[in-house]
Amino acid sequence: MEGIPARARAYVACVALGALLCLLPLPSVRTPWWALVLLAVLYAGCERLARRRFAGTFHPVLLAGAFLLPPPAAALVPLPAALLSPGAPTRRIWRAAQLSLAVWAAARVHWALGGRDAVVASDFPYVLLPAGGAVVAFCLALTLLDGGILTLAEQVPARRAWRGLFLRSLAPISVHGLAGLMMAVLWRSPYGPVAALLVLLPMCVSWWAFAQYHRERAAHQATIRALVQAVDIKDGYTRGHSERVGQASMMIARELGMDDGRVEVLRFAGILHDVGKLGVPTRLLRKDGPLTPEERRIIELHPEYGHEMVRGISFLGEARTAVLHHHERLDGSGYPYGLVGSQIPEPARVVAVADAFDAMTSTRSYRRARPVAAALEELRRCAGSQFDPRMVEALVSALGQHGWHPAVTADEAHPPRPRAAVPEAQR
């Protein structure tokens, strides 16, 4: 953040000033200092553990402070951990001010809704109402501040900066808020702060399990990247093709209304659709001139090779069927099994359209790229015989809304050299 524009630095300074203003009433507020110090130390320890082990943030202690302390005192809880954390001074000041304002807002809403008395009396279920309001205020404050810094520091358009931020963060922060509420209720009970600390144990266990899951996913994604890079090196004339097919597959999936999990699976299917080329002799992939029937039969084995390579990656789910069947055609003239119509799995029908679209709109050594409009017209012409019309129309609609902005193009990644024209279907 040290390289951020002046307007972003001014924004950080204003947020820091706002946090200081929240602390001004502190001398006139009755504050249980021992509780404030204990919560601040506890938060610092949990935050350090969360960042080192789980690569995340830990809000239950902050929200417990919002439920237990007056707003100015609650705003002090995150300051030691944020200001003493590693990183550039601007980043530390930003993090401290942001969390301080968010906790202050949560505490203010909680107290305004009568939450303090409800926590002391352990008044269930009424205690959930002010706690819920506090969680929403906390989440909303973080969202507003994060969107602002994205707009000013990263120059993200304002509409994109805030889009979805609140809804994405509300669920995890609500879970943290529930844990913070349990801490606060136990803290005020006859069992005291020691019992409250026990709430953190199951939270840490669940976070550990969650972190393990994400590490496993990261390992799979690293494997996928390595496979794609190997394909790009072996078949340099289509470098970047896999990533672009993944992008187009994702656009089709979203247009069809698939949930986020399936959209991600379709992206991986597009990225990995040609991984079987690793099993094809390089001399055939780079051959100058048309392929013989025997060479073409060898090339057409690449979907089966690819399926064998990825079948053990359980995380890919139905993406594996797309790797195997993305060269099937609705009329049964495709390969490797000549499936017809609905026999072809839906992910394969998505990837087939994305693959053909990128092949037509990318420059190859033996021809220039077609315009997007011409490629879409060709897809429509072949819809019903080669491609699923629903997938074609989904791509047309998605491109109409968002355009086509691939991050990599084949001609940028690998300069073309003269080569005899070879039908794309043979590759």
Same domain, 68 and 154: yes
Token pair recorded at residue 342: 């609905």
Q: Are residues 181 and 72 in the same domain?
A: yes
Task: Please tell me the predicted confidence (pLDDT) of residue 424.
Answer: 42
Q: Is 404 a domain residue?
A: yes
Answer whether 234's CB lies under 8 Å from 285's CB. Answer: yes
| 191: its two tokens | 């069992």
Cα distance between residue 260 and residue 254, in whole Å: 8
Asked whether residue 206 is assigned to any structural domain, the reply reads no
* Helical (H) or strand (E) element with 102: helix 89-112
pLDDT score recorded for residue 3: 61
In a domain, 188, yes or no: yes
Residue 420: its pLDDT value, please?
A: 34
Inter-residue contact 392 to 353 (CB < 8 Å): yes
Rounded to an integer, what distance in angstroms lies between the CA atom of residue 235 and that of residue 227? 12
Number of Cβ within 10 Å of residue 369's Cβ equals 17
What would the two tokens of residue 79 be? 């300051």
Asked if 257 and 298 sit in the same domain, the reply is yes
Is residue 185 located within the same domain as residue 41? yes
The reported pLDDT for the residue numbered 425 is 39
160 within some domain: yes
Cα dihedral value 204, 208, 214, 216, nearest 10: 180
- Same domain for 136 and 41: yes
Q: Is there a single domain that holds both residue 37 and residue 152?
A: yes
**What backbone phi and psi angles, to 5 degrees, belong to 192?**
75, -170
1 located within any domain:
no
Read off the tokens for 226: 């390595």
Same domain, 187 and 222: no
* Residue numbers of the domain that contains 238: 214-426
Structural domain includes residue 205: no
Residue at which a domain ends, from 155, 172, 198:
198
Q: Indicate the residue type of 132.
A: G
Alpha-carbon Rg for the chain, nearest whole angstrom, is 28
Q: What's the structural domain count of the chain?
A: 2
Report yes or no: 250 and 236 within 8 Å, Cβ to Cβ. Answer: no
- Report DSSP state, residue 127: T
pLDDT at 189: 84
Domain end among 171, 198, 225: 198
Phi first, then psi: give them for residue 308, nearest 5 degrees.
-65, -35
The pLDDT of residue 134: 96
**% helix, strand, coil for the chain, step of 5:** 70, 0, 30
3-state class of 339 per DSSP?
Answer: coil
* Amino acid letter, residue 228: V
pLDDT at 204: 66
Using DSSP's 3-state secondary structure scheme, residue 60 falls into: helix
Same domain, 194 and 253: no
Complete DSSP assignment for 240-257: THHHHHHHHHHHHHHHTT
Task: Assess if residue 236 is contained within a domain.
Answer: yes
The number of angstroms, rounded, from the C-alpha of 12 to the middle of its chain's C-alpha atoms is 26
Q: Is residue 203 part of a domain?
A: no
Domain boundary among 198, 227, 253: 198
Q: Are 189 and 220 found together in one domain?
A: no
Cis-peptide, bond into residue 25, ω within 30° of zero: no
The answer to whether 114 and 153 are in contact (CB under 8 A) is no
> Is the domain of 152 the same as that of 269?
no
Sign of CA dihedral 306, 312, 318, 319: negative
Residue 238 CA to residue 316 CA, distance in Å, equals 23
C-alpha to C-alpha distance for 64 and 409, rounded to whole angstroms: 51
If asked whether residues 233 and 119 sit together in one domain, one would say no
Is residue 272 within 8 A of residue 242, CB to CB? The reply is: yes
Q: Which tokens sit at 260? A: 């986020």
pLDDT at 15: 95
- Asked whether 231 and 248 are in contact (CB, 8 A), the reply is no
For residue 270, the domain's CATH number is 1.10.3210.10
Q: Point out the residues of the chain with pLDDT beneath 70.
A: 1-3, 51-56, 203-214, 217, 235-239, 364-367, 407-427
Output the DSSP codes for 266-318. HHHHHHHTTGGGGGS-HHHHT-SSPPPHHHHHHHTTHHHHHHHHHTT-GGGTT
Residues 181 and 229 in one domain: no
